[in-house]
Amino acid sequence: MAIQELTADEIRALVGSRLEPTGIQVPPAGLQPYYDWLIQSLGLLSQASAGDYRVAPDDASATTVRVAPGRASIGGIALSYAGGTFDLAIYNNDTALIALEDNAASPAITLSTSAAGWPVATHIKLAETTLSAGQITSVLDRRFETMLSA
């Protein structure tokens, strides 16, 4: 199937909205300065291209992360996750472990503390997110580590 370009009317209808999954805002014609919009758009594109299940701070609050949508295989079962946001405020002054777990062939994000450790069930590590003084201080990407089996 060929990719179809947007018509002028479709473009005008999108002005002011944000495009999924990148979050790039469609600017009105004549926006000045274009430089700010361009740099913001390039930043969003680079984040979106970071791949499936990327965990990053979200602007909803200082303790919220967004897990990007993605597809993975756990135990030979292909899973698709639509993405979502998670408020990690209860993990303040601790490290939250974020994993994708197969719950009856349906993907779910599992949150736990570093004291509790990673899930026992088959899962894919996504990130370790450290919070201090009511805000996220670091996100360590763990997506490329080995999947564990129960």
Model pLDDT for residues 63-122, shown as the tens digit of each residue: 999 988 888 877 777 778 888 899 999 999 999 999 888 765 566 777 777 778 888 877
Considering the domain architecture, whether residues 24 and 65 belong to the same structural domain is answered as no
Considering the domain architecture, whether residues 63 and 119 belong to the same structural domain is answered as yes
Half-sphere exposure of 38 (CA within 13 A, CB side): 5
pLDDT value of position 149: 45
Considering the domain architecture, whether residues 111 and 93 belong to the same structural domain is answered as yes
Considering the domain architecture, whether residues 69 and 93 belong to the same structural domain is answered as yes
> Within a domain: residue 148?
no
* Domains: count for the chain: 2
Is the pLDDT at 6 greater than 80, yes or no?
Answer: no
Half-sphere exposure of 62 (CA within 13 A, CB side): 8
> Within a domain: residue 1?
no
State how far the alpha carbon of 21 is from the alpha carbons of 40, 96, 124, 130, in Å. Answer: 15, 25, 22, 25
Cα 104 to the chain's mean position, in Å?
Answer: 23
> Within a domain: residue 2?
no
Give 3's contacts (C-beta < 8 A, 6+ positions apart): none
Considering the domain architecture, whether residues 44 and 68 belong to the same structural domain is answered as no
> Within a domain: residue 66?
yes
> Within a domain: residue 21?
yes
> Within a domain: residue 3?
no
Considering the domain architecture, whether residues 28 and 59 belong to the same structural domain is answered as no
Domain of 137 in residue numbering reads as 55-141
Q: What is the pTM of this model?
A: 0.65
Mean pLDDT of the chain: 81
Considering the domain architecture, whether residues 43 and 13 belong to the same structural domain is answered as yes
